Structure 1
Amino acid sequence: MLANREDLGRTSDVYVAFAFAAADVLVEIDAQGETVFAVGAAMALFGRSARGLVGQPFRRIVHPSDLKILDRALDQMGQGERVRNALVRVLRPDGKAVELTLSGYRSPCDPGHILLALGHPGGLPAAANRVVGTQLLDKDSFQAMAAQLIEAAGPDEPYQLSLVELPDLPALHAEEGGGGLSAAFAAELGHRLKTLSVGGDAVGQIDNTRFGVLHDASVSADAISDSISQAAQSALPDAPPISARVATLVLDVADIPPEEAARALTYTLNRFAREAQNGGDLAAMMKDIQPRLSETVRQMNDVRQTVESGNFDLVFQPIVDMWTNIVHHFECLVRFKGNDTLSPYETVTFAEDVGMVGMLDIALLERAIEVMRSPVANTESLRFAVNLSGRSLSDPAVVRRLREILVTTGDLRRRLMFEMTESADILDLKAVNDVIQGIRQLGHEVSIDDFGAGNAAFHYLRALKVDNVKIDGSYIKDAMRSNEDVSFIKAIVQLCSDLGVTTTAEYVEDQETANLLRLLKVRFGQGWYFGKPQRPVGDDIRTAWKTPVLEWRKGLLYFKSGAGVPS
């Protein structure tokens, strides 16, 4: 396996290099680029023996398209810099290209020689999108990659996240004629940041001046700053110095599962992006980001423990057919024990932000099914709607669990309904629509919640075939005094009517609003006028759902018209 044992003393360098890069193969090349020493699993990596590499130019096995990457890395090493995890492709004898990580530094024994350590990238996930110029991952792709790397990391190999801000870049854009960074500098910056990162590709460009680097503990903030300065000096020798603000975060994740550590990282990156959009800078953000990150982890633990312990209740708010006054169904709403008087909105939104809403949605669905099968609610005339986040419907693991549950709910078809809620844009509407159609084919109606607010807009209705649209309450609350809101409601109702979709109005607080909505041909209403969220009282189905405004008539639950709930 060892080729050319001219100098046994150099084995110390071999071990240093292997420890430095956890390499599969170590190669030493001379000043002319010829391989003078090779050791390791070269046959498995290159399809060539280590002995067969000796005496050959190393460039000969590198993919032609990656020779610039190799030359740039060798140039850095020749100047005394360490290069970590540059991604290059090598060509096997059969012509197949294999991607490898390349690390190295100048030989301490012979400054004219370079020690290269090569290995597999370690199953890094493929990047979906890259930023033109730097060829770094965009924010979403970086989040996905970083999450997978953290989940795969061992407990003794914690990664660190460095947030980088380059405030001088806008001025550099202007000096370059306003057309953006030079191609040379963008490529050099991207290359150097990559070589500092885990696996050679765990770097994201969050926006024009902000970056995220996932790295191990051996990479310091100074090393990142120095690498950026060297990129500028190499590509733009006449440009003014570029200052870099770097802040490194240690994820306080010792007591949470790896997947939740990844979610905490994603939450931090999203906050970094939001601060940038709101005019905040890294210095201001870093004043409280570490304690906030620790608080995020604590809240994540709370959510998980709440779900696992079942420490929550459901309450039920009636949704009334305003054309017949029959209670069409109840929406299932969560209340967390110990916080009965507080709205759970912030907790649910937090669960969405950190990617935990799927486990919460499934727990609420299972609880709702228990209620529907219990003596107090087990009748065809009582129907219930459960909320599912658009993020849950975008998560393959959650969708699998949802399908497993729905296979067992044949007895609840036409009684169990779903409302798709969403506080952030759905990236793959086609995939979500496929899930929705599977739910509908099993006999369960699906609604879009909060239509007209935020991201739940007309392109959702175009892409997602549903049974009902719930008009956002902000339009309903102002309808009595705003002609614009009335026009908007009319437009939604007409569009939905043409598509064969019914409409529901939220926040119906009084009889006047209900009457207006009937004139506008809105079919269903929800709000305190029809009833506040309630729990069934007792176990007798005939009395459990009765309230001052709801009563049973001939086996159906009716709203007493004109007897709205007082505020």
Structure 2
Amino acid sequence: MTTESGLLGLAFAAADTLLEVDGDGKVALVLGAGPGPGTTADAWQGRMLLDLVGKASRKSLSEALRTLQPNIRTAPLDALISCNSERVRRARIRLFQLPELAPAVSFAITYVGTAFTLAVPNAPILLNAGGLLGRVQAVLQEGAVALGLAVSFVEVAGLDQPGEAHQRAAARINAALQTASLDGASAARLSPEQFALLRAADAASDLVDEVRDAGAAEGIDLAALVTRTALSMSGPAEPTIRALRFALEACLTEGVGRASVTFSDSLKRTLKEAEKFRAIVRQQNFTLEYQPIADLATGVSITSRPSPGSAVTGPPTRSISRRSWA
């Protein structure tokens, strides 16, 4: 084995593609794999470096070149590498400059994930909060998912800004979250920048990456805050649905950071109250004052049956409230 082949082997153990870029920003030397099937890195020879990356990556890459110090390897930069006119691939890039080769700069590129299209997908119609609660309840009652379920809460700050680029990014995010949800039909948009989706507990896709890629495809730097809470697959669905309702409210009023905590606290409180009620009924440790009869269509108590000796002579004046999420 020659020294040259040994050095190449070591280099490719750490990166997929190696570039040497001259002082004008043009690719002078390229070795390694292309970014996707049917592509070769050789085609980059003589091209401008910034033409090879997505719009959202150019600013950070230009800044890294401007501030590069000799003999100091940069931290990895996230970028989108163009495969062709329609597809890109996420990559991490490191820069290094040997003083004796200056102003040339060396690049090591490692590809992450698979290539994806730049075409804007048709934005699917997502559920609202009420629709998501109904979907979760139906799935829990069916018991069809053996491996468990989880709800992920997603917040994308800045998504609701005006402009066509943000509108296209929102369409991409809608489609990505819907695809990542259970059966491709269990994602909800709670507000212009907040989402929740029902997923299998072992779902592998990274929602932070999905949002970042959607923004980068439109030249926008978007970051997602994601929290996740597991759903109980044993026992009645009602306590879980009640806790999830409170979590959705917390997501809207306090942000996704509170949603999982609220769900956990609410579920514990609900189960504790249910157990307390069961104990009261089991021990008959109560006095029946009246038995209301309600109109289920309106939720209004229309009459009651007082127990013997009760001082109650009629139904309460207020109706039985039911909150609507429609």
TM-score by length of 2: 0.51
Whole-angstrom CA distance in 2 between matches of 1:309 and 1:200: 47
Q: 1:233 aligns with which of 211, 216, 222?
A: 216
State the AA in 2 paired with 1:199.
D
SS at 1:420's partner residue?
coil
2:186 matched residue in structure 1: 202
How far off its partner does 1:155 sit? 7.5
Cα separation, partners in 2 of 1:205 and 1:333, compared to 1, 3 Å: same
- CA 1:231–1:288 in 2, change beyond 3 Å: closer, same or farther? same
- 2:321 aligned to 397, 406, 422, which one? 422
Asked whether the 8 Å contact 2:240–2:267 carries over to 1, the reply is no
Q: Cα distance, 1:248 vs. partner?
A: 0.6
Q: Which letter does structure 1 place at the counterpart of 2:154?
A: V
Cα separation, 1, equivalents of 2:302 and 2:147? 37
CA contact (8 A) 1:147 1:262 kept: yes
Q: Work out the percentage of aligned pairs sharing the same amino acid.
A: 16
Residue 145 of structure 1 corresponds to 135
Gaps of 5+ in 1: 1-30, 32-74, 81-110, 113-131, 316-331, 335-357, 388-417, 428-567
The yes-or-no answer on 1:190 pairing with 2:174 is: yes
Evaluate the alpha carbon distance shift between residue 310 and residue 227 of structure 1 in structure 2; reply closer, same or farther with a 3 A threshold: farther
Q: Secondary structure at the match of 1:313?
A: coil
What is the CA–CA distance in structure 2 between the aligned matches of 1:228 and 1:290, rounded to whole Å?
A: 26
User: Does 1:245 pair with 2:228?
Assistant: no
Matched residue, 1:49: none
Aligned pair partner of 1:158 in 144, 148, 164: 148
Which whole-Å CA distance do the structure 2 matches of 1:215 and 1:426 have between them?
21
Partner of 2:314: 385
CA distance in 1, matches of 2:182, 2:270: 24
Matching residue's letter, 1:249: T
| Counterpart-to-counterpart distance in 2, 1:313 and 1:193 | 51
Matching of residues 17-416 of structure 1 within 5 Å: 135-154=125-144, 156-170=146-160, 173-174=161-162, 176=163, 181-182=166-167, 184-220=168-204, 223-234=206-217, 236=218, 238-239=219-220, 241-252=221-232, 254=234, 256-273=235-252, 276=253, 280-284=254-258, 286=260, 289-303=263-277, 306=280, 311-315=285-289, 332=290, 369=305, 371-372=306-307, 374=308, 376=309, 384-386=313-315
Deviation per residue, 1:289-340 (Å, 9 max, x gap)? 534433333334434554566543344xxxxxxxxxxxxxxxx499xxxxxx
| 3-state SS of paired residue (1:137) | coil
User: 1: distance between equivalents of 2:269 and 2:286?
Assistant: 21
Structure 2: distance between partners of 1:160 and 1:195: 15
SS of residue paired to 1:162? strand
Richer in helix (by share):
1
TM-score (norm 1): 0.31
2:214 is aligned with what amino acid?
A
> What is the count of residue pairs matched by the alignment?
207
**1:166–1:245 CA contact under 8 A, matched in 2:** yes
Find the residue that maps to 2:206 and give its secondary structure: helix
Rounded Cα–Cα distance in structure 2 between residues aligned with 1:426 and 1:159: 22
C-alpha distance in 2, partners of 1:202/1:426? Answer: 16
AA in 1 matched with 2:158: D
Over aligned residue pairs, what C-alpha RMSD do you find?
Answer: 4.3
Residue 502 (structure 1) aligns with = none
Structure 2 SS opposite 1:204: strand
- The offset of 1:282, in angstroms, is 2.6
Higher CA-based Rg? 1
SS at match of 2:201: coil
Distance 2:322 2:143 in 1: 31
CA contact (8 A) 1:204 1:213 kept: yes
Assess if the C-alpha contact under 8 Å between 1:159 and 1:217 holds in 2.
yes
CA distance in 1, matches of 2:322, 2:237: 25
Q: Which residue identity is paired with 1:157?
A: L
Which amino acid counterpart does residue 150 of structure 2 have in structure 1? Q
Pairwise CA distance, 1:199: 1.3
